[in-house]
């Protein structure tokens, strides 16, 4: 069970479903259905073309430090050039994440999340000194209510927690010299590598499990579960199994230390008893250590299984998810603004448009968001679909809007022929 948290920019509907919502339970009459769907198709094509260009830029920038690359570098780069390319990449990726309506998780937010008690009852330790840079982004924040089953199913406890539908992690490790200085070898990751990961359904309190260097630590309750029985059993063994052996050892140590004058007689029977006692103690200690290790292995298994089902993509593959998400969000914002403005013959002011969209989603679809009205209007203006009359905003009718977008589409790759003379009007392209 979940409830959307107000203030999210993310619109949690598919773009095709959003068009159906706007036609059947929205301000635009159903008579415009055919024209709106045609307009939507060419709008999708324009956005796809624009974001394909961004995808190629991201792939080129990330190729220089992609840990999964299977291609050769044409020109090796020094550290300065590599850092410059990495800074460019971060800037482009941040732009993409913003377009996909992801929110940055600040250092303070991350620190607060790491202090919360894990839902999986696993204590993790993260060494932040291993990283040169750490960036977290989330989308689709919601409050969830679930039932936590403990004690082998005997106890059921309802819990409420903050959940992130999508989380993007960007991490750059420190170079090899840092780990060599600390004599850390056999690392599960490559020093100096840059990792990008995409996860789904991550509780806010369990963000630490997304770090690649997180280590399982025993909680106090787990130490007590193992420690108390071990102490009781150990005391019993000391009294029943090792009593005679301990007396013999104490006598020998006292004689060797000069605290006892009478020599201690040690025969074969005493040696056998001493050996059996020490063997019993060693077996007991081994058993307790094994219990500790087995419990830690179970925790690590639970962590690995959880991450396996939450991981959506890694490194360069994350771009394709984000590009698709950005296209979807940009389209949904633009089409919502267009539908509401097209349904208002006298136009709407910016605040009125913002309120109309948010109220419609909240009242009709139980969806509370912070609609990015300025971003939506900027797109409509850039495509030439928006015009102003004072403070009121209006859009072209669907038929005229289709024609305008078609002109923009036709202008892509409109290269002049070699036989066109300078000054020929046919050689000029339509500005976008």
Of 329, 377, 383, 327, which Cα lies nearest the Cα of 354? 377
pLDDT at 162: 85
Name the 3-class secondary structure at 242.
coil
pLDDT at 121: 60
Of 354, 347, 332, which Cα lies nearest the Cα of 40? 332
Name the 3-class secondary structure at 216.
strand
pLDDT at 382: 93
Contacts of 299 (CB under 8 A, 6+ apart): 122, 216
Phi-psi region of 141 (alpha: psi -120 to 50; beta: other; left: phi over 0): beta
Crossing angle (nearest 10°) for helices 373-382 and 350-365: 120
Name the 3-class secondary structure at 169.
strand
| 10-residue mean pLDDT series, the chain (432 residues) | 60 89 77 85 92 87 80 76 84 90 87 73 78 91 74 67 91 89 83 90 86 71 55 56 59 61 59 64 68 68 76 89 93 94 91 94 90 94 92 92 93 71 46 36
Q: Tell me the CATH architecture of domain 2-38+329-413.
A: Orthogonal Bundle (1.10)
CA–CA distance, 318 with 338 (Å, rounded to integer): 30
Distance of CA 98 to the CA centre of its chain: 14
Task: Tokens for 208, please give them.
Answer: 């630490």
| β partners of residue 169 | 136, 197
pLDDT at 2: 44
Q: What is the 3-state secondary structure (H, E, C) of 293-337?
A: HHHHHHHHHHHHHHHHHHEEEECHHHHHHHHHHHHHHHHHHHHHH
CA–CA distance, 318 with 66 (Å, rounded to integer): 12
Contacts of 161 (CB under 8 A, 6+ apart): 119, 143, 144, 146, 203, 204, 205
For 18-68, the DSSP string reads HHHHHHHSSSS-GGGHHHHHHHHHHHHHHHHHHHHHHHHHHHHHHTTS-TT
Name the 3-class secondary structure at 383.
coil
Encode burial over 14-42: b for 16+ CB neighbours within 10 A, e otherwise: ebeebbebbbeebebeeebbebbeebbeb
What is the CB-side half-sphere exposure of residue 198 using CA atoms within 13 A? Answer: 17
CA–CA distance, 341 with 395 (Å, rounded to integer): 6
């Amino acid at each position: 069970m979940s409830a959307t948290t107000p203030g999210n920019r993310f619109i949690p509907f598919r773009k095709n479903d959003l068009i159906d919502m706007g036609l059947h339970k929205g301000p635009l009459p159903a008579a415009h259905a055919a024209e709106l769907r045609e307009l939507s198709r060419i709008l999708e094509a324009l956005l796809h073309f624009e974001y394909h260009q961004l995808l190629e830029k991201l792939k080129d920038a990330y190729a220089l430090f992609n840990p999964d690359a299977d291609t050769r570098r044409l020109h090796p780069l020094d550290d300065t050039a590599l850092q410059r390319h990495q800074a460019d990449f971060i800037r482009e990726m941040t732009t993409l994440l913003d377009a996909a309506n992801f929110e940055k998780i600040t250092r303070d937010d991350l620190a607060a999340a790491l202090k919360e008690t894990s839902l999986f009852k696993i204590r993790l330790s993260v060494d932040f000194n291993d990283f040169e840079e750490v960036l977290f982004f989330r989308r689709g924040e919601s409050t969830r209510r679930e039932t936590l089953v403990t004690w082998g199913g005997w106890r059921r406890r309802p819990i409420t927690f903050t959940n992130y539908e999508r989380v993007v992690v960007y991490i750059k490790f420190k170079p090899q010299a840092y780990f060599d200085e600390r004599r850390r070898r056999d690392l599960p990751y490559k020093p100096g590598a840059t990792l990008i990961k995409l996860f789904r359904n991550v509780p806010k309190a369990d963000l630490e499990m997304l770090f690649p260097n997180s280590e399982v630590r025993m909680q106090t309750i787990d130490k007590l579960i193992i420690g108390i029985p071990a102490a009781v059993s150990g005391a019993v063994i000391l009294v029943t199994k090792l009593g005679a052996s301990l007396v013999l050892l104490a006598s020998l140590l006292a004689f060797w230390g000069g605290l006892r004058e009478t020599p201690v007689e040690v025969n074969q029977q005493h040696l056998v008893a001493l050996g059996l006692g020490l063997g019993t103690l060693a077996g007991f200690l081994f058993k307790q250590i094994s219990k500790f290790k087995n419990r830690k292995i179970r925790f690590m298994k639970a962590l690995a299984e959880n991450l396996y089902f939450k991981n959506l993509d890694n490194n360069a593959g994350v771009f394709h998810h984000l590009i698709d998400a950005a296209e979807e969000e940009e389209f949904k914002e633009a089409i919502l603004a267009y539908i509401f403005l097209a349904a208002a013959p006298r136009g709407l002011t910016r605040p009125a448009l913002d309120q109309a969209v948010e109220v419609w989603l909240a009242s009709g679809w139980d969806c509370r968001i912070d609609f990015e009205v300025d971003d939506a209007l900027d797109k409509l203006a850039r495509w030439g679909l928006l015009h102003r009359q004072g403070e009121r905003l209006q859009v072209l009718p669907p038929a005229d809007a289709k024609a305008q977008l078609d002109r923009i589409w036709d202008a892509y790759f409109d290269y002049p022929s070699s036989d066109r003379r300078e000054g020929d009007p046919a050689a000029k392209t339509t500005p976008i």
